[in-house]
C-alpha cells in the first residue's frame, strides 16, 4: 500500500548533514517528497510503499550522521501528493518553537587528509570544513541554520564550492561554512602597530617568530589565544609577566598523540576523551622529565593538554614541528585579566598589543565567544571542570519537566559563571562566561542571555539567582525580574550545587539525597560563609543536617589569598599552639598574628575548600595563592598515591550536626613536629576526608533512611579524594552521584538554580 507521511524530527539535526542524509536515504529507497529545516528541527514528507517507509524511519535513527542527536520523531499521515522526485526545500520559519544548535566541532579526518594533500584544492587552507565538522555555535546568528544567518554570509560561494554545496552526493552538500582559498576567509599576519606583514609563508613565519621566543595572538574559532613555544622558558615567563598571571596553569595545544605521550601520561580512557569530538583541555599527569618550561604549571603535577581542533591550529602546529621545535604551544585565552575572551580583530589589536609580538588574524567573524573546555577523566567518564567549547550549547536533558513548563533563566554565581535557560525538557547551559566580577563580564552575560533567548525562541518568565546579596549576577537578575515583571527565586548556593547534580542524573526530586557539598565559598542562610555542608535536599528545599565546625575567616578575601591565615585560625579554633616551626606560622607577620588572634573583621566559615588551603599552608605546601584552588590542587598532587594508609580523623558530634577539624589538626601538627614527609601528611589528610564522608553518611543514613549520596561542590574536582570517597561509600551500600555533565564547581550552579526555581516559582 502506498502512503504519505510527515516526519518532524527534533534534536541536533541542523548543521550536521541531516538533510543530505535524509535525501540520500529517500533516493536509495525510491521515495518521493521533500526535506527541509525549520525553527524546530527538520521536517520530512515521504511517500511510498508502507514497508519501505518503515525501513526508512528505522534507518533515519540507526544511521544518523555522526554529529546528529535525534531527540524525537513525530509521524503524521497525509494525503498522497504524487510528486515524481525527492528534493531539499528551502528553510521555513515559524514561531515559538526551538531547535538545538550544534557545538563547534573538531576538524574531521577527511578534511584533515585534504588539508595535507598537495593535490587538493584546499591544501593548507585554514578554513576547510564539511557537514561533519567546523564552526557552528560561534558563527550562528540566528536559526534556521543557513549560511545567510551566519558570519559566513559575507563570503559568496565560488562556482566550485557552490557545486559541492548543491550536490547531494558531496560531503559538503549544504555545509553552511563551506569555503575555499578562492571564495572564503583568509589569514594574515599583523605587527603590534596593526600593519599587515607581507610574507611568503604565514605559517613558516609564525613558527620562526615563535622560535625566537615571541608571543603570538592567534584568532581561533571561539576567540583569541596567546601562544608561545611550550619548551621555551623565557617566552612562557614573559607571557606570564605581560598577562600578570603569576601561577595559574597555562593550557597546552599539542600536535599529536605521540607528542602528548612525550610530555604526559595518557591512559586509554584519557586518549578517548582527548580525541573526542569536543577536543577539550584534559588534565593529565605530567611526565617527570617532560622538556617543558617549568613556568607552564608551577607547583602542579598535572598539565592541561588539548589537541588541535581547527585546520588553522593544525597548520600552526605542523609549522612548529617543521621548524624543528617540539610541537607543543602554550595556548591561553586572549583576554585582559579577568575580562572575557576577545573575539574581534580590532579589540584584539588594541587590547592585546601590549601582551604580544605578532598577530595571526583572519576575517571569519566570531559571533559568540567560546573558551576551551576543561575536563578530567575519572573512571572512564568525563568530569567537567569547565563546560564550554565543544559542549555548549548542547543541553542537559530535563526528562522530568514537561514541554510546556514555564522557561526559567538562572544566572549562576560569581566565579566560573555560566547561565541556564530551560525550555521545558531542556536545560540550555551557556558557554563559560568568566568570573562575574566586572562590567565586561556582566555585559557578556546580558548579551549572551539575549542571544540564547532569541536563538531558542524562549523568553524566561521566572528568574533564579544566588542568595549572595553582593553578587553582580544576582543584582542583574533583580533588575531583569523588575524589567520583565516576573518572579525572581533566590537559591542557596549549596542547595543549587546538590540540585544540579540531581538534575544531571535525571532525578525527579521526589526522593531527597544526602548532599555532601564541599566547596570554597557560598552565602549561607545565616549570613555566614558556608562550604562544608551536608544537606538533606530535594528540588523544593533542604535541611542543613551537618556542617564543618566554623572558624573565623579573618579579613575575608585577604584570608582566601593567604591560606596561612586560615591555618592559624584553624589552629586557634582547635586550641593548638602557633609553633614557630610551622611554615604557616612563619609566614604570618606579628601584626597578622594579632589580627587573627583577635578575630578582627572576621566572619565564621564552615568551608571545606578553606580547610584544604589551611592544611596546604600548615604543612608547607603553599602560603599564598594567586588563583582559586591553587593550594588545594597542589595538596592533591602531593597526596596522590599516598592514600589508604592510616589517616587522620575528624571529630563528629553526638547528633552528627557538626564535624570538627580540630582532631585532624592535632594529629597533623604532631606529624609535623616529627618531620613527617609532606606527601604522607597530604595523603593522611585526604584519607581523613574520605573517611569522614563515609562515617557521616552512615550516621545520617541511620537518622534519615536516605541511601543516596551526592558529591558536589568545587572540592570534588579533586579526583584523588573523589575516588577514595566513592570507593568507601559504595563499599557500604550507598548509591553515589558524581558529576559527568556539568562541573562540580560554580560552573554547574545555574543548572541547580534552574530546577529549584522550576519547583518553587510563585
Q: Which residues bind Fe ion (CB under 5 A)?
A: 519, 746
Run of H or E residues at 24: helix 18-29
371/519 with CB nearer Fe ion: 519
Q: Does 112 bind Zn ion (CB under 5 A)?
A: no
519/592 with CB nearer Fe ion: 519
Q: Name the nearest CA neighbour of 108 among 89, 97, 122, 118.
A: 122
State in angstroms the smallest separation of the CB of 620 from Fe ion.
27
State in angstroms the smallest separation of the CB of 13 from Zn ion.
18
Q: Does 182 bind Zn ion (CB under 5 A)?
A: yes
Contacted entry of Fe ion, Zn ion, none for residue 306, CB cut-off 5 to 8 Å set by kind: none
State in angstroms the smallest separation of the CB of 201 from Zn ion.
22
Stretch that binds Zn ion, among 174-182, 520-528, 740-748, 753-761 (CB under 5 A): 174-182
Decide: 450 and 426 in contact? Cβ < 8 Å: no
138/745 with CB nearer Fe ion: 745
State in angstroms the smallest separation of the CB of 610 from Fe ion.
12
Rounded to 5°, the CA angle 448-451-457 comes to: 135
180/464 with CB nearer Zn ion: 180
Contacted entry of Fe ion, Zn ion, none for residue 180, CB cut-off 5 to 8 Å set by kind: Zn ion
Q: Does 741 bind Zn ion (CB under 5 A)?
A: no
State in angstroms the smallest separation of the CB of 372 from Fe ion.
22
Task: Extract the C-alpha cell encoding 464.
Answer: 533564579
Q: Which of 32, 115, 180, 681 binds Zn ion (CB under 5 A)?
A: 180
State in angstroms the smallest separation of the CB of 171 from Zn ion.
7
Cβ neighbors of 584 (< 8 A, separation 6 or more) are 563, 564, 567, 568, 571, 614, 617, 618, 620, 623
Contacted entry of Fe ion, Zn ion, none for residue 746, CB cut-off 5 to 8 Å set by kind: Fe ion
State in angstroms the smallest separation of the CB of 105 from Zn ion.
9
State in angstroms the smallest separation of the CB of 175 from Zn ion.
8
Contacted entry of Zn ion, Fe ion, none for residue 161, CB cut-off 5 to 8 Å set by kind: Zn ion
Contacted entry of Zn ion, Fe ion, none for residue 678, CB cut-off 5 to 8 Å set by kind: none
CB-count burial class (<10 Å; 0-12, 13-18, 19+) for 175: buried
* Other Cβ atoms within 10 Å of 436 Cβ, number: 25
Q: Which of 161, 250, 315, 481 binds Zn ion (CB under 5 A)?
A: 161
d(CA 518, CA 609): 7
Q: Does 183 bind Zn ion (CB under 5 A)?
A: yes
Cβ neighbors of 178 (< 8 A, separation 6 or more) are 129, 130, 157, 161, 164, 165, 172, 184
Stretch that binds Zn ion, among 177-185, 215-223, 250-258, 575-583 (CB under 5 A): 177-185
d(CA 475, CA 497): 20
Contacted entry of Zn ion, Fe ion, none for residue 519, CB cut-off 5 to 8 Å set by kind: Fe ion
Q: Which of 133, 566, 574, 614 binds Zn ion (CB under 5 A)?
A: 133
Task: Extract the C-alpha cell encoding 470.
Answer: 553582593
Decide: 128 and 122 in contact? Cβ < 8 Å: yes
Using CA atoms in the order 344, 188, 279, 326, what is the torsion angle rounded to 10 degrees?
-130
311/647 with CB nearer Zn ion: 311
Decide: 532 and 606 in contact? Cβ < 8 Å: yes
Going through 350-461 in order, the beta strands assigned E by DSSP cover 358-362, 374-378, 381-386, 396-397, 408-410, 420-422, 426-429
100/491 with CB nearer Fe ion: 491
Contacted entry of Zn ion, Fe ion, none for residue 611, CB cut-off 5 to 8 Å set by kind: none
State in angstroms the smallest separation of the CB of 527 from Fe ion.
17
Cβ neighbors of 539 (< 8 A, separation 6 or more) are 499, 502, 503, 509, 755, 756, 758, 759, 760
Contacted entry of Fe ion, Zn ion, none for residue 638, CB cut-off 5 to 8 Å set by kind: none
Stretch that binds Zn ion, among 11-19, 157-165, 412-420, 670-678 (CB under 5 A): 157-165
Q: Residue with the closest Cβ to Fe ion? A: 519
Contacted entry of Zn ion, Fe ion, none for residue 158, CB cut-off 5 to 8 Å set by kind: Zn ion
State in angstroms the smallest separation of the CB of 333 from Fe ion.
22
129/717 with CB nearer Zn ion: 129
Q: Does 130 bind Zn ion (CB under 5 A)?
A: yes
Q: Does 208 bind Zn ion (CB under 5 A)?
A: no
d(CA 507, CA 415): 26
Contacted entry of Fe ion, Zn ion, none for residue 688, CB cut-off 5 to 8 Å set by kind: none
Strands 224-229 and 216-219: antiparallel
Provide the β-strand partners of residue 537: 513, 542
Q: In which order are the strands placed within the sheet that holds 216-219? A: 196-197, 187-190, 358-362, 216-219, 224-229, 328-333, 252-254, 302-306, 281-285, 374-378, 381-386
Contacted entry of Zn ion, Fe ion, none for residue 183, CB cut-off 5 to 8 Å set by kind: Zn ion
Stretch that binds Zn ion, among 49-57, 101-109, 271-279, 690-698 (CB under 5 A): 101-109
Task: Extract the C-alpha cell encoding 757.
Answer: 526555581
CB-count burial class (<10 Å; 0-12, 13-18, 19+) for 346: exposed
State in angstroms the smallest separation of the CB of 497 from Fe ion.
6
343/750 with CB nearer Fe ion: 750
State in angstroms the smallest separation of the CB of 161 from Zn ion.
3
Size of the site for Zn ion (CB under 5 A): 10
Q: Which of 158, 237, 573, 603 binds Zn ion (CB under 5 A)?
A: 158
Using CA atoms in the order 294, 299, 302, 305, what is the torsion angle rounded to 10 degrees?
-40
Helical residues (DSSP H) of 288-411, grouped into ranges: 311-322, 345-351
Q: In which order are the strands placed within the sheet that holds 420-422? A: 396-397, 426-429, 420-422, 408-410, 462-466, 488-491
105/718 with CB nearer Fe ion: 718
* Other Cβ atoms within 10 Å of 695 Cβ, number: 17
* Interface with Zn ion in residues 485-504 (CB under 5 A): none
CB-count burial class (<10 Å; 0-12, 13-18, 19+) for 198: exposed
Q: Strand, helix or coil at 50?
A: helix
**Rg, Å, the chain Cα set:** 27
133/614 with CB nearer Zn ion: 133
State in angstroms the smallest separation of the CB of 136 from Zn ion.
12
State in angstroms the smallest separation of the CB of 14 from Zn ion.
17
270/519 with CB nearer Fe ion: 519
Q: Does 253 bind Zn ion (CB under 5 A)?
A: no
222/434 with CB nearer Fe ion: 434
Run of H or E residues at 756: helix 749-760
State in angstroms the smallest separation of the CB of 611 from Fe ion.
15
Q: Does 111 bind Zn ion (CB under 5 A)?
A: yes
Q: Does 108 bind Zn ion (CB under 5 A)?
A: yes
Run of H or E residues at 241: helix 233-243
- The contact set with Zn ion (CB under 5 A) reads 108, 111, 130, 132-133, 158, 161, 180, 182-183
Amino acid at each position: 500500500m502506498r502512503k504519505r507521511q510527515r516526519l518532524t524530527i527534533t534534536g541536533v539535526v541542523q548543521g550536521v548533514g541531516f538533510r543530505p542524509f535524509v535525501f540520500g536515504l529517500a533516493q536509495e529507497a525510491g521515495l518521493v517528497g521533500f526535506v527541509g529545516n525549520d525553527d524546530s528541527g527538520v521536517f520530512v514528507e515521504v511517500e511510498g510503499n508502507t514497508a519501505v517507509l518503515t525501513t526508512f524511519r528505522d534507518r533515519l535513527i540507526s544511521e544518523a550522521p555522526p554529529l546528529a542527536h535525534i531527540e524525537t520523531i513525530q509521524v503524521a499521515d497525509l494525503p498522497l501528493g504524487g510528486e515524481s522526485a525527492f528534493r531539499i526545500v528551502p528553510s521555513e520559519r515559524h514561531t515559538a518553537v526551538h531547535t538545538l544548535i550544534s557545538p563547534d566541532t573538531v576538524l574531521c579526518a577527511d578534511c584533515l587528509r585534504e588539508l595535507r594533500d598537495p593535490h587538493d584544492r584546499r591544501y593548507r587552507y585554514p578554513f576547510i570544513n564539511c557537514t561533519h565538522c567546523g564552526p557552528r555555535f560561534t558563527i550562528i546568528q540566528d536559526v534556521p541554520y543557513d549560511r545567510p544567518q551566519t558570519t559566513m554570509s559575507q563570503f559568496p560561494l565560488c562556482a566550485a564550492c557552490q557545486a559541492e554545496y548543491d550536490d547531494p552526493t558531496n560531503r559538503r552538500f549544504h555545509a553552511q561554512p563551506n569555503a575555499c582559498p578562492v571564495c572564503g576567509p583568509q589569514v594574515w599576519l599583523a605587527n603590534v602597530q596593526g600593519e599587515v606583514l607581507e610574507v611568503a609563508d604565514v605559517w613558516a613565519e609564525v613558527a620562526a617568530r615563535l622560535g625566537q621566543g615571541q608571543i603570538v595572538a592567534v584568532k581561533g574559532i571561539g576567540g583569541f589565544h596567546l601562544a608561545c613555544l611550550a619548551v621555551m622558558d623565557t617566552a612562557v615567563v614573559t607571557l606570564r609577566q605581560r598577562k600578570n598571571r603569576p601561577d595559574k596553569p597555562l593550557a597546552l595545544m599539542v600536535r599529536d598523540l605521540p607528542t602528548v605521550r612525550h610530555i604526559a601520561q595518557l591512559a586509554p580512557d584519557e586518549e578517548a576523551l582527548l580525541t573526542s569530538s569536543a577536543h577539550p583541555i584534559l588534565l593529565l599527569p605530567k611526565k617527570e622529565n617532560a622538556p617543558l618550561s617549568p613556568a607552564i604549571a608551577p607547583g602542579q603535577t598535572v598539565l592541561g593538554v588539548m589537541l588541535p581542533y581547527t585546520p588553522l591550529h593544525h597548520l600552526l602546529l605542523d609549522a612548529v614541528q617543521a621548524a624543528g621545535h617540539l610541537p607543543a604551544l602554550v595556548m591561553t585565552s586572549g583576554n585582559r585579566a579577568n575580562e572575557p575572551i576577545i573575539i574581534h580583530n580590532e579589540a584584539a589589536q588594541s587590547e592585546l598589543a601590549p601582551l604580544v609580538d605578532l598577530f595571526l588574524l583572519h576575517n571569519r567573524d566570531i559571533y559568540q565567544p567560546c573558551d576551551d573546555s576543561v575536563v578530567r577523566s575519572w573512571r572512564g567518564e568525563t568530569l567537567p571542570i569547565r563546560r564550554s567549547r565543544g559542549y555548549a550549547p548542547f543541553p542537559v536533558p530535563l526528562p522530568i519537566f514537561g514541554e510546556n513548563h514555564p522557561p526559567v533563566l538562572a544566572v549562576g554565581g560569581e566565579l566560573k559563571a555560566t547561565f541556564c535557560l530551560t525550555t521545558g525538557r531542556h536545560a540550555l547551559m551557556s558557554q563559560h562566561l568568566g568570573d562575574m566580577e566586572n562590567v565586561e563580564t556582566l555585559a557578556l552575560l546580558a548579551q549572551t542571555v539575549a542571544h540564547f533567548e532569541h536563538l531558542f525562541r524562549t523568553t524566561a518568565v521566572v528568574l533564579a539567582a544566588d542568595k549572595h546579596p553582593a553578587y553582580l549576577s544576582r543584582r542583574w537578575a533583580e533588575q531583569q525580574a523588575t524589567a520583565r515583571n516576573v518572579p525572581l527565586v533566590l537559591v542557596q548556593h549549596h542547595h543549587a550545587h546538590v540540585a544540579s547534580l540531581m538534575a544531571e542524573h535525571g532525578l525527579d526530586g521526589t526522593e531527597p539525597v544526602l548532599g555532601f557539598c564541599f566547596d570554597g565559598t557560598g552565602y549561607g542562610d545565616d549570613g555566614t560563609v558556608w562550604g562544608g555542608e551536608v544537606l538533606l535536599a530535594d528540588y523544593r528545599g533542604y535541611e542543613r543536617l551537618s556542617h564543618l565546625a566554623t572558624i573565623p575567616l579573618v579579613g575575608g578575601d585577604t584570608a582566601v589569598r593567604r591560606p596561612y591565615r586560615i591555618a592559624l585560625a584553624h589552629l586557634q579554633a582547635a586550641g593548638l599552639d602557633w609553633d614557630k616551626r610551622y611554615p604557616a606560622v612563619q609566614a604570618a607577620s606579628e601584626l597578622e598574628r594579632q589580627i587573627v588572634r583577635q578575630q578582627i573583621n572576621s566572619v565564621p566559615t564552615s568551608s571545606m575548600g578553606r580547610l584544604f588551603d589551611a592544611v596546604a599552608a600548615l604543612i608547607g605546601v603553599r602560603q599564598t595563592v594567586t588563583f582559586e584552588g591553587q593550594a588545594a590542587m597542589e595538596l592533591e598532587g602531593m597526596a596522590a598515591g599516598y592514600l589508604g594508609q592510616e589517616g587522620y580523623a575528624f571529630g563528629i558530634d553526638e547528633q552528627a550536626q557538626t564535624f570538627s577539624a580540630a582532631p585532624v589538626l592535632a594529629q597533623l601538627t604532631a606529624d609535623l613536629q616529627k618531620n613527617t614527609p609532606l606527601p604522607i601528611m597530604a595523603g593522611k589528610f585526604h584519607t581523613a576526608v574520605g573517611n569522614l564522608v563515609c562515617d557521616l553518611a552512615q550516621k545520617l543514613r541511620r537518622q534519615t533512611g536516605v541511601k543516596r549520596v551526592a558529591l558536589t561542590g568545587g572540592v570534588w574536582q579533586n579526583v584523588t579524594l573523589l575516588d577514595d570517597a566513592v570507593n568507601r561509600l559504595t563499599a557500604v551500600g550507598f548509591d553515589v552521584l558524581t558529576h559527568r555533565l556539568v562541573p562540580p564547581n560554580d560552573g554547574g550552579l545555574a543548572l541547580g538554580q534552574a530546577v529549584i526555581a522550576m519547583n518553587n516559582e510563585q
